[in-house]
Chain A
Amino acid sequence: MRFQKWAIATALFAAVAVFAADTVRFESRPGSKVKVDGTSTVHDWTVESQIVKGTMEVPADFTSNPAAAAKNTKVEVTIPVRSLKSGKTAMNNIMWEAMKMKDHPNIEYKLLELTPKSGGAQGSSAQFDAKGTLTVAGVTRTNTMPVTIEQVGDGKAKATGTTTVKMTDFGIKPPAPTVGLGFIKTGDDVKIAFEWRAEKAAGVVPAGPTDLKVQ
């Protein structure tokens, strides 16, 4: 019995180790930012959130070997809708309502594919075209955007990117609140810019089987 347990455990962890040996798992850290810029008939508007929750699993050598990184990178990000804020309570409420926050409290992103840009890898950073699924207000759409992943200091990474999406693609009707004397109509296009800071997760991905404690 005891032997069997050992064998299974060892086999399992060996399998993990093959994958884990060259993969680094990063987790969100404070200091991240997401900014959404839009337009309206009155003035441009901006909402921001500092809450970007998520993980990124990336080959350790992603900057020197972007082609390998393209295949083995996993990214999942969640942003609570309620953390997106403008300077104005009234506007927040209009936005949250438009995004159907009650039923869909989170914005989600999942990476499908990374394509390295030619000549994109420079020093500690690498540029990719990221194809992923973006879920807003319960509607999932595929999105492609340029992304830069950078190593900033020991065990720290920063991913930045910008993309433009249409509200109507996600079933969101551009809000047209009645304010003051007339209608304000918001534009359909919004620009999403993010700066995601992450740090190597301590002890999550084993460096090798020798580090394992099997009882």
Chain B
Amino acid sequence: MKNQATPQPEQDFNRRDFLRGSSLATIMAMLGGVELRAQAPDAKEEEKEVGATVKCGVIGLGARGREIVSTLGRLKQAEISAVCDKYPAFMKRGANLAPKAKALEDYRKILDDKEITSVLIATPTHQHKDIVKEALQAGKHVYCEAPLAHTMEDARAIAQAARAATKQIFQAGLQMRSDPQRHFLLPFIRSGALGNIAMARAQWHKKQSWRTPSPNPERERELNWRLRGETSTGIMGEIGIHQLDMASLFLNARPISVTGFGSVIHWNDGREVPDTVQTIIEYPGGVRLIFHATLANSFDSDYEIYYGSDAAVMLRENKAWMFKEVDSPLLGWEVYARKDTFYKETGIALVANATKLLAQGDKPVEEAPFTNTPLYYALEAFLTNSNEMTTGVQDFKDSFNINDTKALEKYLSELQMQPYATWQDGYGATVVGIKANEAVIKGQKITFQNDWFELG
């Protein structure tokens, strides 16, 4: 959907259409919900002029690393200078996705390359720490996949290094923090449109083994780091972290405790990590999030629902819907909004359109305005922010005394950044993920201690 300059088609509805549309909409609104849509970017922004390209290197070319490489390939700002993996098969597959990039075995060669300003790290979680620290030391902007680390010590070391690197961007791979659809929903949910939030539920269902086969036992062990207790943070840390982080963002609070359960139900192949988990995450005010995830069944995939006394909101991929209670106050606009049916309920599409006229009337808006993946937006933010930071430091250096640290840090802190998961976000979410996994493994309740979140 593109908004062109010509307003006529949108206004070209006749009275009968209008009456029909609105009366139908009124009935639908009485039944159920509204789709919440984020403001569509205008045409100019979609085709925005790309300032400078950012030379980047991707370290770790497993499935996630390759997804990063191919997403970067779609971003005009990205110039993939090098890709790196010490496993030749992965290196080759990664290099195929970025034919112009150098294919390297040793990540230090990326760090030594002065031309490369930004690195993206998608190695197994337990290998993040040293690479992140060295990359920051080398002056690179760093995008590090979530969770940041598999242990509290490593997570803290990474966060401390990121905190010290004041002239660099450190972005945690919590991509939903950069998703425009979620940024549109954030004030909507936080402003109390749902009434009193009673509870939340999130799920992630996907039938997949997580095991990567290899004829070489040593390689097999290394590839399947996610299945071993000593290197894995399990489903909670590797997957649940994203939805738990979103819940903390929407509920505007840090969890108080986590209670977990987990079993190996289906993939009984000697793994040490449960393939099915249930957790209850407690937030202030008696609000609890129920999160369940399984590798044994894929029904209904993944989504989050926030339940309030006036309405429930469901977030699913790049869409969201509101399901109103009959006694909730009328917001007004939902009368005209698009409706979709789920199970027995009718959801009001929560996708705010740039042109309200388009969202109303009887011309259906087929696509949500933001059709890219959250990863796309996260990487776009990383590149834009990296460039912003690099040029900001350069401008300051050219004009003032770069050793005036206080003024420099003030200036850099006022640079306009696209929303991204900072080291604070990444560290907090990693702590929650690690502890949630621990709760699952032990089948216990763990109360979060304040000092776990402090870096000292």
Q: How far is the CB of B165 from chain A (nearest CB, A)?
A: 20
Q: Is the CB of B42 within 8 A of A180?
A: yes
Query: Quick one: which of A54-111 are within 8 Å of B by CB?
Result: 54, 78, 80, 82-83, 85, 87, 89-90, 93-94, 96-97
The reply to whether B395 and A80 form a contact with Cβ atoms under 8 Å apart is yes
| Contact A180:B391 (CB < 8 A) given known A30-B411, A90-B42, A96-B49 | no
The answer to whether A90 and B45 have CB atoms under 8 Å apart is yes
By beta carbon, the residue of chain A nearest B387 is A82
> Does the CB pair B411–A180 fall under 8 Å?
no
Contacts of B7 in A (CB 8 A): 181-182
Shortest B18–chain A CB gap in Å is: 18
CA distance A30 to B403 in the complex (A): 12
For residue A155, CB closer than 8 A to chain B, the reply is no
Count A/B pairs, Cβ under 8 Å.
74
Instruction: Identify whether the interface residues of A are mostly helix, strand, loop, or mixed.
Output: mixed
Q: Does the CB pair A178–B42 fall under 8 Å?
A: yes
Q: Are B44 and A94 in touch, CB under 8 angstroms?
A: yes
Closest to A53 in B: B399
Asked if B399 and A51 make an inter-chain contact with CB atoms under 8 angstroms apart, the answer reads: yes
Residues of B near A50 (CB, < 8 A) are 411, 414
CB-CB under 8 A for A30 and B407, given A178-B43, A181-B3:
yes
Q: Is A28 on the interface with B (CB-CB < 8 A)?
A: yes
Question: Judging by beta carbons under 8 Å apart, are B355 and A30 in contact?
Answer: no
- The count of residues in chain A whose C-beta lies closer than 8 Å to any C-beta of chain B is 28
A50 and B10 CA atoms in complex are apart in Å by 42
Interface residues as binary, B54-78 with A (CB distance below 8 Å gives 1, 0 otherwise): 0000000000000000000000000
Given contacts A50-B414, A94-B44, contact A181 B400 (CB under 8 A): no
For the complex, is A177 an interface residue (Cβ under 8 Å from B)?
A: yes
Sort chain B's interface into a size bin.
20 to 34
Which residues of B have CB within 8 Å of A182? Answer: 5, 7
Does A31 sit at the interface, judged by CB under 8 A?
A: yes
> What's the Cα separation between A28 and B51 when bound, in Å?
27
Q: Which of B389-403 contact A (CB under 8 A)?
A: 391-392, 395-396, 398-400
Residues 31-65 of A, flagged 1 when their CB comes within 8 A of B and 0 if not, give 10000000000000000001111100000000000
CB–CB A179/B42 < 8 A? yes
A203 to chain B, nearest CB (A): 13
B295 to chain A, nearest CB (A): 39
Identify B400's interface contact among A28, A78, A82, A183, CB under 8 A: A28
B51 touches A96 (CB 8 A): yes
Interface pair B400/A30, CB less than 8 Å apart: yes
Contact B49 A52 (CB under 8 A): no
Question: Using a CB–CB distance below 8 Å, which chain B residues touch chain A?
Answer: 3-5, 7, 10, 41-45, 48-49, 51, 354-355, 357, 384, 391-392, 395-396, 398-400, 404, 407-408, 410-411, 414, 416, 418
- A: residues with CB less than 8 A from B are 28-31, 50-54, 78, 80, 82-83, 85, 87, 89-90, 93-94, 96-97, 177-183
27 residue pairs bridging A and B, Cβ less than 8 Å apart:
A30-B407, A31-B407, A51-B395, A51-B396, A51-B399, A52-B399, A53-B400, A78-B399, A80-B395, A82-B51, A82-B391, A83-B391, A85-B416, A87-B416, A89-B48, A90-B42, A93-B44, A93-B45, A94-B44, A96-B51, A178-B5, A179-B42, A180-B42, A180-B354, A180-B355, A181-B3, A181-B355
